[in-house]
Structures are given as C-alpha cells and as structure tokens.
C-alpha cells in the first residue's frame, strides 16, 4: 500500500456495540462486509476521521500497540471493507454479493411493472434538468433519463455492477450525457447540484436500504432546494394475514421432543429459551397465504413525504388492525406504495400485479383467532441494526372487541 495516500472514514459507516469491547462495523448495505472490531481497532480507525495517510498515524498506532506491518494490514482491511476510502477519489467498488449480483439486477430488469413505472415518471419530468440517480445499478434509469431529454445525468453506484452501467451508457449512445460516480452517495461530491433525483432505494423491507439516511443527505448536499424527487412519497402499509408457512410454538416443541427421543438428550432449557424468541421476519417472493387469508383491512404504518424536512423523524407507530374476515391471524404482511409527481404509483401490494420485491412477512409470536369487527392492536417500529434500518411489526395478544361492521 502507498503510505503517502490519504484515507478518510466513509460517511456511510455504521457502528453498533455487540459486547464488551466489541463493535460490529459495516461500511455498506451492498455487501456482507461487517467486521467485529475492538475499541483499540476503532481508535485506529478514528485516526482517519480527517484525511490522513498511514505515515501520519504511524506514531499514534505504535502507542496503541500496532506496529508498522499490522498498521498496513489493518488499513488494507478497512479499505477492503469500505470503512475508509481514498480521500479525493472515487471509492473502490464492492465486488461481491448484495447489489453487485447480476442475478439481482436480472430480476429487477425483467420486472416491467417496476421499470415502466419509473419510465413514465422520468418521461414526464426530466427534460432539460440536471438529474442525479443514487444507486444506478445497471444504469437503466439513468439511460432512460438521458433519452428523455435530461440536460445531464450524474449516476452514483458503489458496487462492481458500475462496470456494466458504464458499458450500458456507451451501448445506448448516452455516455456524453451521463457521468458515472463510483462510490457511496454519502461520500460523493458533485460538481453541481441536481434539479431532480431518481432513487430506487426501496427493498422488500421498505426501509432496509437506508432510504431515509440517503435522502436526507442528498437533500442537504446534492440537490437544489426545490429539487424534484422520483418518487417523492413512500407509504408503508400492512395487513393482518393467515400465513400458511407460520410455525407455531407447539410445533417447534413437538419437533424438539422428537429430536430428544432420537438423541437421548433433554432439550427443555432450549425449549424454555425459545419461548422468549421474537417472531421472525421472512422475505417471500410469493405471498404464503391461503385463499381468504387477508384477514384485516389495510393500515398505513408510515407515510414518508420526502418534501417534508421531518420525514425521517418517525420510528414508532401504533394503532389497530381492523378485522374484516374471521380466521387465525398469525402474521402481518408489509408492503409499500411509491408515489411520483406525475401521478404514477408503484406498489408491491398483495392485491396488485406481482413485482420483483416480493413481501415482508412478520410472524406473530402466538396466533390470534379473530372475528370480523375486532380491532387488533399493533406496534410498528424502525430499528437500527448492524448494517442499517429494519422494520418490525408486533401485534398484541390482547384485543379490543368493537361492534360488528354494518
């Protein structure tokens, strides 16, 4: 490594304590690059909070007990994991896993519901505008923006799929209208502020690509004050369902009893511990519910209006699910609606045409036998995990019955 190359900590870094003198550090949602670091390793990492080269921090590293060879190895691992980036240069792209996967992008490209919704919104809004796309992937939306008359497009991508995007721009004769920036948007500086932002930072868990964090930063640093966002609003909704793949506590206990018979070992301590395990969150590409399994009406959990400066402030939402059909409620399906200024709406609702997103299904800890007209309390929560935000929906065991619907 070049000892005179200045490095700086990525603004995308997420640090979570996981034990005594142990921290989980992640540099990107696009890869499985999380590492467990000690407090002394974090001290070394903090040396690059401002641009610094290894020669600059060698003396301090020695005081931490990190000699020259170990310093070089540590910085190399920081760079490989995206924890630090070369100051003043594009960041190295993530080579493997996550959104660098060609298979992931194949699923998104063949999803005509997704692409055509963005295309309609792009055609209606981008002409003569300076456009920014965060997370351009293969570059399809940036190509569509250039073809629709954008003045110039700045496309940001942090994974190796950027190599494909670069070739896509050339193959579609828009390379002169699109500038590719390699790295995470939090670490990118643009030569000009954009009039319009295209973003598809929406996962099956609508917040798990850290959409709130990236949009807040983009609005502060990369966009003009009156910039248009595509989409400009995101509603996160849910319905109570009967999940045919739900596994009951009694079934788990029966499975362990069968194993205990085969092994000749008591699993009772494990059975007791499992009683306190939180319900699972599962990603399904085909919603595992029986006919008539949508038991409740829709409830809007969050409504993120990206024009509102406070859109990222809400983490907890509580309310009730209104039961429409009798049955056994054992899960909640979470989905979204993305709204565009042109009037286009993109959704992965279980009642809409299937998309590449599939569904987030949050299991209940215990099933609830419900009747039409009941109101079942829920709590939705957005929590920070090791590599970003996650959404959880919990349904209370106690229910407040109301009069039957007329």
Q: How far apart are CA 77 and CA 25, in angstroms?
A: 12
Is residue 406 among the annotated active site residues? no
Q: Which residue of the set 133, 157, 158, 200 is catalytic?
A: 200
In DSSP terms, 299 is beta-bridged to 238
Is residue 200 among the annotated active site residues? yes
Which helix (H) or strand (E) segment holds residue 251: the answer is helix 249-263
* Structure tokens, 64: 């931490």
Q: Which residue of the set 209, 298, 374, 389 is catalytic?
A: 209
Q: How far apart are CA 354 and CA 341, in angstroms?
A: 23
Q: How far apart are CA 23 and CA 39, in angstroms?
A: 7
Could you give phi then psi for residue 309, rounded to 5 degrees?
-55, -20
Could you give phi then psi for residue 221, rounded to 5 degrees?
-115, -30
Residues 47 and 35 sit within 8 Å (Cβ to Cβ): no
**Residue partners of 319: CB distance under 8 A and separation at least 6:** 299, 377, 378
In DSSP terms, 72 is beta-bridged to none
Could you give phi then psi for residue 278, rounded to 5 degrees?
-70, 155
Q: Is the peptide bond before 231 cis (omega within 30 degrees of 0)?
A: yes
| Active-site residue list | 200, 209
């Amino acid at each position: 490594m070049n000892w005179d190359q200045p490095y700086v900590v990525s603004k995308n870094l997420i640090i979570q304590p996981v034990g005594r003198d142990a921290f989980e550090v992640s540099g990107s949602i696009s890869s499985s690059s999380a590492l467990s670091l000690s407090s002394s390793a974090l001290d070394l990492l903090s040396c690059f909070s401002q641009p610094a080269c290894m020669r600059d921090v060698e003396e301090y590293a020695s005081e931490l007990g990190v000699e020259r060879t170990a310093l070089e190895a540590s910085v190399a691992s920081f760079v490989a994991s995206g924890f630090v980036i070369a100051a003043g240069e594009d960041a190295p792209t993530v080579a493997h896993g996550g959104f660098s996967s060609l298979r992931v992008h194949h699923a998104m490209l063949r999803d005509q519901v997704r692409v055509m919704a963005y295309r309609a919104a792009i055609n209606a809004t981008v002409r003569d505008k300076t456009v920014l796309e965060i997370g351009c992937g293969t570059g399809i939306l940036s190509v569509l923006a250039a073809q629709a008359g954008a003045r110039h497009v700045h496309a940001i991508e942090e994974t190796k799929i950027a190599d494909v995007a670069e070739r896509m721009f050339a193959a579609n004769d828009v390379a002169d209208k699109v500038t590719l920036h390699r790295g995470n948007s939090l670490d990118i500086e643009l030569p000009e502020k954009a009039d319009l932002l295209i973003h598809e930072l929406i996962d099956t868990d609508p917040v798990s690509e850290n959409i709130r964090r990236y949009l807040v930063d983009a609005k502060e640093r990369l966009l003009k004050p009156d910039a248009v966002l595509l989409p400009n609003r995101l509603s996160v909704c849910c319905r109570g369902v009967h999940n045919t793949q739900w596994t009951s506590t009694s079934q788990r206990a029966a499975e362990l009893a069968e194993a205990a018979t085969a092994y000749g070992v008591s699993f009772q301590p494990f059975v007791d511990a499992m009683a306190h395990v939180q319900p699972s969150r599962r990603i399904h590409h085909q919603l595992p519910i029986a006919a008539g399994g949508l038991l409740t009406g829709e409830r809007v959990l969050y409504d993120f209006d990206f024009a509102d400066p406070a859109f990222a402030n809400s983490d907890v939402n509580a309310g009730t699910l209104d039961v429409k059909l009798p049955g056994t409620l054992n899960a909640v399906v979470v989905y979204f609606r993305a709204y565009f200024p042109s009037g286009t709406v993109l959704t992965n609702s279980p009642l809409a045409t299937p998309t590449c997103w599939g569904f987030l299904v949050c299991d209940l800890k215990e099933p609830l036998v419900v009747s039409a007209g009941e109101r079942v309390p829920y709590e939705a929560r957005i929590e920070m995990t090791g590599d970003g935000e996650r959404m959880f929906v919990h349904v209370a065991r106690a229910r407040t019955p109301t009069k039957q619907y007329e």
